[in-house]
Structure formats: structure tokens, C-alpha cells
């Protein structure tokens, strides 16, 4: 829209500087005129143009014939289509289908009913598959691994695979961030594998859930005359083993044994908010086959926490009551943070926040086996200390890596690690070098308005208190299981995100839970 400081009738000649035809317009009584630029004329698919639209205006006043020139620039904003692999499993097991999920979104909003593409590269031979996203922007896929032959496989998820023309310039105005990951074959000396079925839905508390597992075993590993396999399992949640068990599965005498079995798991509070199931079998020669799967469990904590304000909305500077309920004897942290600050990064403590990585002090460092042999030399001025082997740890697709994911220290004389090969590969593999995208988390500060008018006769006090953090305190809960606080709302006209995280001894357990509420600030008028 072109707006003149003083309304005057006249004609306008508007033209974008991208070889588009000029438009002849007429101002209205307010001195304004509106025109539309067709995205086809912008040639968005042409890489020679910058993401900037320059427009030239020529106004000729009807009464005097005076001519005014004006130029304006506006930036063309691209919508970023983000493709990502969700709950990605970096390992595949030959003979078992590989299942995965892609998520497609724009500005964190899922794209529904869109065709997305998955490229599978096996030994530099690409296969293209297409899928349609569901109402959550997710597309599930199943891949046959039979002919992958223990090689490294790449997966690439894409929203578009064709070159855009003028006919589809609306899609050319989008930026694309592809998903890319490598898949490594899971190591087994005898090609014996175990696969736990993935469960998509959240498991409810207080019920039993049946987990299915499949196996492919080398019969010679079981010993002569063996008619069954003992599978052992344990469930880990929040850093500890909740329960464990054993399942005896009868088998035949075929050379390659294939079959399935089920495990019944009681879903309790102890497994929330997520738990890990590890199943393994130990063969006579010490080889181990295993698999691990993660399940999402309903947040059903023993410690029930409730947080509320006495008023849903209140004036800055007013007093408001904060009511907190939890298990008697709880110690609760209460935080109130300006919601506009959280737009930069919402880092409130919740039950979903878990520690990641393997602790350094638990890692089993070993000597790197591929160094050249150390030859003794007599000590000289330049060689006073003997050469030492470099510390080394491996991160391979093997049974040991499953225990590392559970952050467990393993003491065993069984074969759980993939042997290190010192032979360098002779093949050349393409490396994915996608365009790097940088993201800027823009945020809008909380609205700030100057009070005008007087609904009260009292003299208005100047507002000076504008913190980003309002409440940051520890609150003990007494025997009544509740407490109330009276706090003064800061002068900021904003919306406050208030949360509480409570810990308490419930029997012999530590109960925890979080609660959230929001207090909008009311503008003064």
C-alpha cells in the first residue's frame, strides 16, 4: 500500500524491478492505492535474484501535473519446510524390516496430507519412496534390509525432489531443510539377532502391556540337542532397574531358527515418564544377542502437584495469592518467568528432561589396537619417556552400545563388543554435504503500554519494577499438603509462566511431578 502524507488525487505508475510489467493505479480520497504483485512475475525460482523485492513508484498529481518518484524495498521471506527423522534408530539388523518415522513441518506446525520422499542409498544405488503425512505431519516407513549385505546405508528425507518452474512458484518460495542420517549394520558374529517391536502409543499406568519380540538365531550356537533358548530381560527407568525376568522359548532343530515370543510388562508409576526394555540371550561360546526398546509411559507420579492463582488476571503491582498443593513433606521449587523470555528457549524443568550421554568415569577406555608396534629405543635427550598406546573407546553397533545407552557399567567375560578392524576401506563413498541452515529464534518482548486515564482517584505511582523473573524460590509443604503465598505482581504488562517441581519421599520412593499455570497481566487503561 502506498500512503501519502497529504491526500491528493493522482495517478501512480508502480513497477517491481524484476522485469514485471508496470501497473497504472489511481489514488482514492485518502491518497492511498493498493496493487498486487503476482509471484510468477517475481521469478522466485531464479537463483540469480536476491530475496529482495524493489519497487519503483511514480506519482503524478492531477491538479498541477507535478511528478514525484519514490523507491521502496521489501524482503521476501521464505517459509522453511523442515524434514526430520523422529525416534531415529541408527542401527539395522539384516533380515528384520527397518521401521522409521519422518516428520514434516513449517514453523513448528505439522504439514498434513503432503507427499514426502525418502531416498535410500545402498552401495551408491539409490531407491526413492514416497509417503503421505498424517494429521500430525508424520510419515511412517518400513524398509526391507535383506539385500543390504551389512553395508553402510544412508537415508534422506525430502519434501520436494523436482526443479520448480513458474507454474509452481508458490513452492519455489519455500526453503527446504532435508533430513539425513546414516544407518549402520548391527554386529553379530553368527548373524543371530533379536528385535523388539516398537510401540507408538503412550502406555497407560495401572495396566499390563504385552511386548512382542522376534529372533533369528544360529542353531549351532545353542549346543547339541538344545530344545529351548533362555531370554533374559530387565526394565530400566530413571536410571535404575525397576524389575527383571526370564523367558524360556522352545525352539526346533533347524539350522536357522526364526520365531517370536511375548513379554507381559506391568505398567506402573515406577516406569514413568519413559522406560527402556533390554532383552538378551547368552550362547554357549559367550556370544550375546540383544535388543533394546524405549517406551513412553503416561506421567502418573505418586506426588500430585497443583498450582493456581487466586485471580486469573490482575493489574501490575497488585497482590495475588498463589496456592500450591502437593504430598505432605514435599519440597517444591516455584518459578515465575516472563513468557516472552521463554520464546527464546523454553527451558523450564519438566519430567521430560532427562540426562543424556555416557558418563566419562564409566567409560571403558582401551589401547587403540591399530597403532604401529612400539619399538624400544635407548633413552636420549629427545626421548626420555617410553611411547604409550593412545586411549581408545569404540562406538559401534553392537550389544555393548545398548548397555551404554542405558548408562550401565558392564562387568562380563562374554562377547559384547564388535572386534576392531585395522584394515582401511578401499571404496570411496559419497558424503552428504547439504546446505547448512541457520536458525534465528526471534521473540517478541512483552507489551509495554503507558497508563492513561484514572479509574481510581489515588495518585498513580510510577512503575519501576520490570523483571524477567518474578518468582524463584523453594517452598516447603507442611502436613496439610498445601500452602498459600501472597506475592506482588511486577509492573510488567505481560503474561507470566509459573511452574512448580516437587520432590517428596513417598514410601521408599521419591515422588516427583510438575505443574504449570499462566497469569496474564491486564493492561492499564
| Mean pLDDT calculated for residue range 392-410 | 80
Domain with CATH 2.60.40.1930 in the chain: 193-296
**What CA–CA distance (Å, rounded) separates 148 from 486?**
65
pLDDT digits (tens, 9 = 90+) for 23-38: 777 777 767 777 777 6
pLDDT digits (tens, 9 = 90+) for 148-161: 988 999 999 999 87
pLDDT band, residue 67 (cuts 50/70/90): confident
Give start and end residues of each alpha helix (H) in 250-344: 339-342
CATH 2.20.130.20, applies to 306-345+465-517: yes
**What CA–CA distance (Å, rounded) separates 175 from 81?**
6
Tell me the three cell numbers of residue 414.
562374554
**pLDDT higher than 80, residue 404:** yes
H/E stretch holding 278: strand 274-282
pLDDT band, residue 520 (cuts 50/70/90): low
What CATH number does domain 81-161+174-185 carry, 2.60.200.30, 3.30.70.360, 3.40.50.970, 2.60.40.10?
2.60.40.10
Distances in Å between the alpha carbon of 230 and those of 139, 249, 367? 36, 6, 34
Give 469's contacts (C-beta < 8 A, 6+ positions apart): 335, 336, 337, 338
**What CA–CA distance (Å, rounded) separates 118 from 153?**
13
Q: What does pLDDT average to over the chain? A: 75
Task: Check residues 21 and 403 and name the one with the higher pLDDT.
Answer: 403
Tell me the three cell numbers of residue 298.
503416561
End-to-end alpha-carbon separation of the chain, Å? 31
For 17-22, the CB contacts below 8 A with 24+ separation are 17/54, 17/55, 17/56, 18/42, 18/43, 18/49, 18/53, 18/54, 19/43
pLDDT digits (tens, 9 = 90+) for 292-306: 999 988 877 667 788
pLDDT digits (tens, 9 = 90+) for 457-494: 445 555 555 577 788 888 888 888 888 888 887 866 67
Q: What is the pLDDT of residue 492?
A: 67
> Is the Cα dihedral 102, 106, 111, 117 positive or negative?
negative
Nearest to 487 by CA among 323, 305, 312: 323
Domain with CATH 2.20.130.20 in the chain: 306-345+465-517
Nearest to 199 by CA among 93, 294, 89: 294
The answer to whether residues 299 and 273 touch, using CB atoms and an 8 Å cutoff, is: yes
Q: What is the pLDDT of residue 454?
A: 45
**What CA–CA distance (Å, rounded) separates 258 from 193?**
10
Angle at 103 between CA 357 and CA 497, to 5 degrees: 70
Q: Which residue has the cell 510438575?
A: 514
Task: Check residues 225 and 491 and name the one with the higher pLDDT.
Answer: 225
Q: Which CATH architecture has domain 193-296?
A: Sandwich (2.60)
- Over the range 9-39, which residues count as b (16 or more CB within 10 Å of their CB) and which as e? ebebebbbebebeeeebebeeebebeeebee
| Mean pLDDT calculated for residue range 178-203 | 92
Q: Which residue has the cell 491538479?
A: 63
Q: What is the pLDDT of residue 121?
A: 95
| Mean pLDDT calculated for residue range 313-331 | 82
How much of the chain exceeds pLDDT 70, in percent? 65
Q: What is the pLDDT of residue 426?
A: 52
pLDDT band, residue 446 (cuts 50/70/90): very low
**pLDDT higher than 60, residue 48:** no
pLDDT band, residue 269 (cuts 50/70/90): confident
Amino acid at each position: 500500500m502506498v500512503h501519502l502524507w497529504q491526500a491528493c488525487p493522482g495517478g501512480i505508475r508502480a513497477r517491481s524491478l524484476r522485469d514485471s510489467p508496470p501497473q497504472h493505479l489511481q489514488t482514492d480520497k485518502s491518497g492511498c492505492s493498493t496493487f498486487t504483485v503476482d509471484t510468477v512475475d517475481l521469478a522466485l525460482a531464479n537463483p540469480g535474484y536476491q530475496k529482495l523485492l524493489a519497487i519503483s513508484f511514480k506519482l503524478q498529481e492531477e491538479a498541477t501535473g507535478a511528478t514525484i518518484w519514490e523507491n521502496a524495498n521489501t524482503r521476501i521471506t521464505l517459509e522453511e519446510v523442515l524434514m526430520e527423522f523422529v525416534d531415529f534408530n541408527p542401527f539395522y539388523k539384516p533380515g528384520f524390516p527397518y521401521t522409521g518415522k519422518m516428520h514434516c513441518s513449517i514453523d513448528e506446525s505439522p504439514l498434513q496430507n503432503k507427499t514426502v520422499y525418502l531416498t535410500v542409498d545402498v552401495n551408491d544405488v539409490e531407491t526413492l519412496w514416497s509417503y503421505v503425512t498424517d494429521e500430525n505431519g508424520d510419515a511412517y516407513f518400513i524398509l526391507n534390509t535383506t539385500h543390504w549385505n551389512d553395508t553402510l546405508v544412508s537415508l534422506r528425507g525430502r519434501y520436494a525432489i523436482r526443479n520448480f518452474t513458474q507454474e509452481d512458484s508458490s513452492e519455489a518460495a519455500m526453503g527446504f531443510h532435508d533430513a539425513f542420517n546414516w544407518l549402520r549394520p548391527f554386529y553379530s558374529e553368527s548373524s543371530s539377532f533379536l528385535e523388539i517391536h516398537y510401540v507408538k502409543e503412550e502406555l497407560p499406568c495401572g495396566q499390563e502391556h504385552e511386548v512382542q519380540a522376534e529372533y533369528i538365531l544360529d542353531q549351532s550356537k545353542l549346543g547339541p540337542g538344545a530344545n529351548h533358548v533362555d531370554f533374559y530381560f530387565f526394565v530400566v527407568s530413571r536410571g535404575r532397574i525397576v524389575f527383571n525376568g526370564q523367558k524360556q522359548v522352545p525352539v526346533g532343530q533347524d539350522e536357522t531358527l526364526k520365531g517370536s515370543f511375548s513379554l507381559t510388562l506391568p505398567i506402573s508409576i515406577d516406569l514413568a515418564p519413559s522406560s527402556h526394555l533390554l532383552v538378551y540371550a547368552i550362547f554357549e561360546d559367550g556370544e550375546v544377542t540383544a535388543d533394546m526398546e524405549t517406551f513412553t509411559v503416561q506421567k502418573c507420579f505418586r506426588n500430585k502437584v497443583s498450582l493456581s492463582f487466586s485471580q486469573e488476571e490482575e493489574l501490575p503491582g497488585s497482590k495475588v495469592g498463589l496456592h500450591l498443593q502437593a504430598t505432605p513433606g514435599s519440597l517444591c521449587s516455584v518459578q515465575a518467568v516472563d513468557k516472552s523470555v521463554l520464546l527464546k528457549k523454553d527451558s523450564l524443568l519438566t519430567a521430560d528432561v532427562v540426562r543424556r550421554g555416557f558418563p566419562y568415569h564409566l567409560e571403558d577406555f582401551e589401547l587403540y589396537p591399530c597403532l604401529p608396534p612400539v619399538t624400544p629405543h635407548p633413552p636420549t635427550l629427545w626421548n626420555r619417556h617410553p611411547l604409550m598406546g593412545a586411549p581408545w573407546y569404540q562406538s559401534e553397533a553392537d550389544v555393548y552400545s545398548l548397555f551404554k545407552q542405558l548408562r550401565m557399567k558392564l562387568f562380563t567375560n562374554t562377547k559384547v563388543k564388535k572386534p576392531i578392524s585395522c584394515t582401511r576401506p578401499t571404496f570411496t563413498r559419497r558424503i552428504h554435504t547439504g546446505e547448512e541452515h541457520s536458525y534465528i529464534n526471534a521473540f517478541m518482548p512483552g507489551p509495554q503500554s503507558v497508563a492513561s486515564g484514572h479509574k481510581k482517584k489515588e495518585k498513580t505511582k510510577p512503575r519501576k519494577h520490570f523483571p524477567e523473573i518474578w518468582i524463584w524460590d523453594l517452598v516447603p509443604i507442611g502436613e496439610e499438603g498445601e500452602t498459600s503465598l501472597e506475592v506482588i505482581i511486577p509492573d510488567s504488562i505481560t503474561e507470566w509462566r509459573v511452574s512448580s517441581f516437587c520432590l517428596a519421599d513417598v514410601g521408599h520412593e521419591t515422588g516427583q511431578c510438575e505443574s504449570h499455570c499462566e497469569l496474564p497481566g491486564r493492561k492499564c487503561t
